[in-house]
Structure 1
């Protein structure tokens, strides 16, 4: 029997297929998805910060807690310059100034240093505070108001305005070092051997400070050469070691058995050998530096002359740190001596230790002597220091940060 709609069970003859799908509703859904996606895409692509969390903060122009040293003065993009402040009023508190003018005759190998405080006020290069950190010449002519006539020559003194030789002759560190671990190195024995002295001055980075021996030949010329190459300089003060007189620091050594006036006479001889230095560092002297009374006498004179003092780190019995704190003397304590063992491997190990200290504490200090192996090691080590996230700074930048 032929089936027909009349004989088929109810509902069994209905056709199933795509013809009855709700195409209208599906189309609307697809259009809605596309439209929503497009709006989201436009919002993200057209907005550089699209899709990122946003926060709103309130800006304030208040300068609470900001010191003048935190503010850098720069030139304007169109070449115009900002008005320069009065340097003479700022020297006493700012500590480190770059005295040379990058546009002056210093670049031709001649001294560019000012010869008076009024000249200094005109010549301090505020615009170029970032300049000179790879060899820019420092002043070699002393400031007359910072000199005290003496039978041994001119000694450093604090000016009537309270400006110290330390303030004027120190090398200013690069502002970029504020964000990095810093290392200060003082190489002593400059002036004793002309070949090694010349190598230290010419081959070492300018931020490595140099300690001049008062017994060196033509020490004033070495001071000028060092500062024209950008090196901050100190004077070595010879002092009595424990095995004196078998081991002698020289005819002008400060001795524990001399009275105060005799030691002051010898100190004056040392101070009169040259100028434009920022302070003193001991040469030998483990017996003298362990004598608290004698160190009080010495460091009070260092303070009164407007200088800093560096303990070279050779004696664990030194009283320098505690006496400097009592006497309020600008002070630096060396963390280690790089070349107590004079071989390349040992010096390399000490340099690695110095890097560890710098990363842990923010700054590390070392002393060394101008031996051939030491100078070669320092020159090679310093080549890629910045790639390792470390910066060299002058020894004066470590004042009172190592105790």
Structure 2
């Protein structure tokens, strides 16, 4: 296994290219089988759920591989789904939100940023996002918007507070079908060629990992480089532009069909 892992890290994922992709594996921590994702190239980031049976151990192992670790923060969903332990909700005060985030950071080591787990409701709301971004700014962390709602205000509020931010372009495995995942991967390639960079989120499902092992080596032939997600960050300054979208309207649009 160690030899196989070493060989994977030597594959030509780093090429001189104008186009770049970053991939984040979400939902790390609940299952012992999540460790199979450690066989992916080290450029693939892990987003680890707090207060899970294997989260802390997998974060430590991933960090030893020089892999970037993100905190996958459970947030309130439109659908009323249970996001898991330590979830941020719309009823929390700013102090409660920040204490909850601190407890999550204390649980998962080596975190350099966060992204939302679920959160189709919470990311639409200004106060919880304000509280979240203040915490990130104070702790030098960045925000990746998983974009589980098209009405998300998270990136805008991150810019207001000078928090470096990114957003995913697509999910690779909304359907657990290898052909579907391959098609999504090709869309990722096309987005990178069009825009220069693209970020995808996937999950540690066996079918997903199988497709990634098969498809990642093909990036080089497209002159695309697989990169650590932090390399896509730009220094962020507080955004002083007027909000174009009415906050109250955005917060009321709770019927938006979300991808959680």
TM-score by length of 2: 0.82
Which protein shows a greater Rg?
A: 1
1:192/1:215 contact within 8 Å kept? no
Aligned partner (choices 63, 66, 76) of residue 230 of structure 1: 66
Mean alpha-carbon deviation: is it higher for 275-284 or for 222-231? 222-231
Task: Confirm whether residue 207 of structure 1 aligns to residue 43 of structure 2.
Answer: yes
Task: Confirm whether residue 344 of structure 1 aligns to residue 164 of structure 2.
Answer: no
Instruction: Provide, for residues 198-246 of structure 1, a one-character-per-residue CA deviation record: whole Å limited to 9, x for no partner.
Output: 21012x11111111111322433211211222311111111000122xx
Q: Which has the higher contact order (CA 8 A, sep 6+)?
A: 2
Q: Please report the RMSD computed on the Cα atoms of aligned residues, expressed in angstroms.
A: 2.0
How far did 1:258 drift?
1.7
1:365/1:398 contact within 8 Å kept? no
Partner of 1:277: 111
Task: Confirm whether residue 318 of structure 1 aligns to residue 152 of structure 2.
Answer: yes
How far did 1:188 drift?
0.9
Classify 1:188/1:383 alpha carbon distance in 2 versus 1 (closer, same or farther; 3 Å). same
Aligned partner (choices 137, 148, 169) of residue 303 of structure 1: 137
TM-score by length of 1: 0.54
Task: Confirm whether residue 134 of structure 1 aligns to residue 18 of structure 2.
Answer: no
How far did 1:395 drift?
1.1
2:68/2:228 contact within 8 Å kept? yes
Instruction: Provide, for residues 140-174 of structure 1, a one-character-per-residue CA deviation record: whole Å limited to 9, x for no partner.
Output: xxxxxxxxxxxxxxxxxxxxxxxxxxxxxxxxx96
Partner of 1:187: 25
2:119/2:148 contact within 8 Å kept? no
**What stretches of structure 2 of length at least 5 have no aligned partner?**
3-7, 236-260
**What stretches of structure 1 of length at least 5 have no aligned partner?**
1-106, 108-132, 136-172
Aligned partner (choices 143, 162, 167) of residue 328 of structure 1: 162
Aligned partner (choices 192, 197, 210) of residue 376 of structure 1: 210
Q: What is the number of equivalent residue pairs in this alignment? A: 227
| CA distance, structure 2, for counterparts of residue 384 and residue 332 of structure 1 | 25
Q: Give secondary structure in 1 for the equivalent of 2:173.
A: coil
| CA distance, structure 2, for counterparts of residue 350 and residue 215 of structure 1 | 31
